[in-house]
Structure 1
Amino acid sequence: MKLWKQLGTTNQIMIMLVVGVVVGLSVGEAVAPIKMVGDVFLRLIQMSVVLLVMGAVVEAVGSLSPKDLGKLGVKSLAWFMFSTVIAAAVGIIFSLLLNPGKGLTLDTQTSNAISVPDTTINDLVVDFFPTNVIKSMAEGNMIQVIIFAILFGIALSFIQKEQGNSKLLDLLKEFNKIIIQMVTFIMVLAPFGVFALITWVTGTIGVKVILPLGKFLLTFGLATVFFLVIWFIFVGLYVKVSPLLIFKRMKRILIVAFTTTSSAIALPVEMEDAELKLGISKRISKLVLPLGLALNSNGLATFLAVACITLSQVYGLPINLSTIISIVLLSTLATLGTVVVPGGGLVALAIVVPSMGIPVEGIALLAGIDWFSGMFRTLSNVAGDTTIALMIAKDENEIDRNILS
């Protein structure tokens, strides 16, 4: 037990990930009941995320002057859009080079029809704004929660400026500390939760589903890795720190993101390591990281781009310059506020695919491997959020260089 604790959470998760794959492939579908353990872990984390996000955003915004908030908000959005467009473009390039849709056919794999929401980009934008924030919290609608938290924080900022102090802000800071401590307790279970989830996925889904779409996963995986390599190099040059050092300090964040396939579940670890391992100030991390959770989805943009090209090739649809531009723009817009829990990629795909004139039935072709796609999506999403927070912290001179060295 003592040796296990000395390994640290990162190494524990990696060990249990490998063990889970071996057990799942060895035992097969009989291992399905173990999913309950993973589901309990995910729920324990998810029950805290809404409060964590709302509390962090209100505290961050409430502590800022309206002028500083506007500057940081615009800068964050600009970086989010820039990285998302680059990620989508990389997905397009790799799809055109590797042709993942060539040779794929729609057969029994698409027999399991999925529900396609009747949602347009306009509907998506309107849905950013809540009618009832309690309902938004209950449903885990992060973008609506964040919109409310920003407005609440702005009002608190004005009160703070008028009165010189706010008891509510002090109370919020204490509340946020308690939530973080609770999440820290829950993260002790992370290796076992990951083991259960990976064992279930490999045991029940296994190789039989992956093989027919191996080229799609290979294309998406290579595009993700390529994007992350060039992005880390860019961030390293911008911040004037070795990209390898940044990657090393983010290792635990990336492993949790990859194994849980949920940006929301990775957020508590992301916020902790951003401050303690990357030296990002609390002011920046508590504002930029929750915003990135809802507004920055590099991995999802890459996924949507690769998926659209793949399905276009499956159906023999023409791919020209206007098609490529449309895919990049739609992939970027559809990532805004998309569900940040496992399975959210299919929701965004169901928005983009009809807009591109691709038959919606093709979505079912990719539904069976959504968990595996989600691993790469979440990895890129979380990496983008954290590195953008790091760049903004550099701009604001709010990096502790004694930590990041």
Structure 2
Amino acid sequence: MGTLRKVSLTNQIMAAMVLGILAGAIFQQNIIGIKVVGDLFLRLIQMSVVILIMGSVIEAVGGLEIQELRKIGFKMFVWFMGSTIVAAVIGVIFGLIVKPGVGLKGTIGTVDSLTVNDGSLQEIILDFIPQNIIAAMAEANMIQVIIFALFFGLALSLVKQDVKGRQMLEWVSNFNSVILKMVTLIMQLAPIGIFALIAAVVGEIGVGVLGTLMKFLLTLGTAAVLYLIVWLGITTLYCKVSFSRLLKNIWRITMIAVTTTSSAVSLPVKIEDGREKLGISDRINKLVMPLGMSLNSNGLAMYLSLSIVTFAQFFQIELTLGQLTQAVLLSTLACLGTVVVPGGGLVALATVMPMLGLPTESIALLAGIDWFSGVFRTLLNVDIDVLVALIIANDEGELDRGIFNGEKSYTE
């Protein structure tokens, strides 16, 4: 037992992932029932995500001066939108070069009860604003929660000169610390939960389904990994840090992302490791990480644009430059406030497909491998959020290189 405690949580998660794949392949349909254990772990994490996002954004915005918020907000917008558009463009380029939709045959899996937003642009914009914040929290509508938190934090930043305002900011900060501690305790169950999730997925769909769509998965995986490597290189040069040290510091975040395929579940780990391993100040950390989760989905944008090109090839449709541009823009906009839990990619795809005149039913082609493609989507979604936060912290002079280099530990 003592030896197990010495094994880091990251290594335990990696072992659980491998054992889960083996168990699923061996026991197949007989192990599907274990999924309830994985779902229980996900729910334990997800039950605090909404208030964690709200609290983090309120604390971060409330602690800023208005001019600081404008400055940091502009930087976030540039990095978020720029990186998402580039990711969507890369998805299109790889799709046109590799042609994963050519020769694709058959229909795999089924898609049930996907919500497609058929509303006008005005309705979509209105849906960003909550009519009732309690209802938005209950529905886990992340973009509405963030909008409310931004306005609440802005109001708090204006009244924090008063004693009651300072007390409120301090209360929010203390509350966030308790929530993070709770999530840290729950994360000790991660190896068990991840083993159950992966074993159930592999047991249910088998490894045979990968053969039919392996070309699509390889295209997505190659594009995602190469894009991430480029981002790691840019961050290393921009922040003047060690490439190997950066990889080491984000490794646990990466493992949580690819094994849970959920940006929401990864958020608490991003915030904790951003502060304690990367040396990002709380001011930047608690603002950029939650906002990035809902507004900076590079992996999803790449997946959507590549899927559009793949479906066009499957139906033997020649896309014009204008249609490809539209695919990039739709893939970028569809990432705003999307579902940040496993399976959210299919929901976003169901939103984009009708806008390009492609049949929604064809999403079933990718449904069977959604978990596997979710690995690459979440990898980019999560890791690039962290890298953007690191870049902004470096810009603002709020990157503690002592913590980043492991020369000192984080202290409250």
- Category of TM-score, reference length = shorter chain: over 0.9
**1:200-219 alignment runs, 5 A limit:** 200-219=200-219
Aligned to 2:403: 403
| Residues 324-333 or 40-49, more deviating | 324-333
Secondary structure of 1:53's match?
A: helix
Aligned to 2:323: 323
Aligned to 1:32: 32
Q: 1:164 Cα shift?
A: 8.4
d(CA) in 1 for partners of 2:100 and 2:155? Answer: 50
d(CA) in 2 for partners of 1:300 and 1:149? Answer: 24
Secondary structure of 1:115's match?
A: coil
Secondary structure of 1:338's match?
A: coil
Q: 1:163 Cα shift?
A: 4.7
d(CA) in 1 for partners of 2:364 and 2:119? Answer: 20
d(CA) in 2 for partners of 1:88 and 1:310? Answer: 13
8 Å contact from structure 1 (residues 300, 381) kept in 2: yes
Letter in 2 for 1:86: V
TM-score, with normalisation over the residues of structure 2? 0.95
Cα deviation digits, residues 61-81 of structure 1 (max 9, x gap): 111111111211121111000
Q: 1:325 Cα shift?
A: 1.3
Aligned to 2:393: 393
Secondary structure of 1:403's match?
A: helix
8 Å contact from structure 1 (residues 121, 351) kept in 2: no
Cα pair distance change 1:64/1:104, threshold 3 Å:
same
8 Å contact from structure 2 (residues 108, 367) kept in 1: no
Cα pair distance change 1:95/1:108, threshold 3 Å:
closer
Percent identity over paired residues: 52
**1:293-308 alignment runs, 5 A limit:** 293-308=293-308
Cα pair distance change 1:386/1:273, threshold 3 Å:
same
Secondary structure of 1:134's match?
A: helix
**1:166-185 alignment runs, 5 A limit:** 166-185=166-185
**1:373-392 alignment runs, 5 A limit:** 373-392=373-392
Q: 1:121 Cα shift?
A: 6.9
Aligned to 1:224: 224
Aligned to 1:284: 284
| Residues 163-172 or 66-75, more deviating | 163-172
Q: 1:125 Cα shift?
A: 2.8
| Residues 322-331 or 74-83, more deviating | 322-331
Aligned to 1:339: 339
d(CA) in 2 for partners of 1:289 and 1:139? Answer: 21
Secondary structure of 1:30's match?
A: helix
Cα pair distance change 1:115/1:61, threshold 3 Å:
closer
Letter in 2 for 1:25: A
* Alignment of 1:85 onto 2:85: yes
Cα pair distance change 1:165/1:334, threshold 3 Å:
closer
Runs of 4+ displaced beyond 4 Å: 110-114, 162-165
* Alignment of 1:152 onto 2:152: yes
d(CA) in 2 for partners of 1:45 and 1:138? Answer: 15
8 Å contact from structure 2 (residues 87, 302) kept in 1: yes
Which segments of 5 or more consecutive residues in structure 2 lack a partner in the other structure?
Answer: 406-412
8 Å contact from structure 1 (residues 13, 255) kept in 2: yes
Q: 1:91 Cα shift?
A: 1.1
* Alignment of 1:100 onto 2:90: no
Aligned to 1:136: 136
Q: 1:118 Cα shift?
A: 3.6
Cα deviation digits, residues 3-43 of structure 1 (max 9, x gap): 11111110000001101100110011100110010000000
Aligned to 1:186: 186
8 Å contact from structure 1 (residues 58, 152) kept in 2: yes
Aligned to 2:245: 245
Letter in 1 for 2:315: Y
Q: 1:116 Cα shift?
A: 5.1
d(CA) in 2 for partners of 1:2 and 1:144? Answer: 45
* Alignment of 1:11 onto 2:19: no
Letter in 2 for 1:52: L
Letter in 1 for 2:387: T
Aligned to 2:409: none
d(CA) in 2 for partners of 1:101 and 1:114? Answer: 25
Cα pair distance change 1:49/1:111, threshold 3 Å:
closer
| Residues 208-217 or 260-269, more deviating | 208-217
8 Å contact from structure 2 (residues 110, 367) kept in 1: no
Cα deviation digits, residues 273-322 of structure 1 (max 9, x gap): 01111110010000000000110000000100110010000001112322
Aligned to 2:64: 64
d(CA) in 2 for partners of 1:354 and 1:99? Answer: 22
8 Å contact from structure 1 (residues 88, 328) kept in 2: yes
Aligned to 1:45: 45
d(CA) in 1 for partners of 2:103 and 2:27? Answer: 32
d(CA) in 1 for partners of 2:358 and 2:285? Answer: 39
Which segments of 5 or more consecutive residues in structure 1 lack a partner in the other structure?
Answer: none
8 Å contact from structure 1 (residues 113, 361) kept in 2: no
8 Å contact from structure 1 (residues 334, 352) kept in 2: yes
Secondary structure of 2:401's match?
A: coil
Letter in 1 for 2:71: K
> Aligned-residue CA RMSD in angstroms?
1.4
Letter in 1 for 2:220: F
Aligned to 1:117: 116
| Residues 335-344 or 116-125, more deviating | 116-125
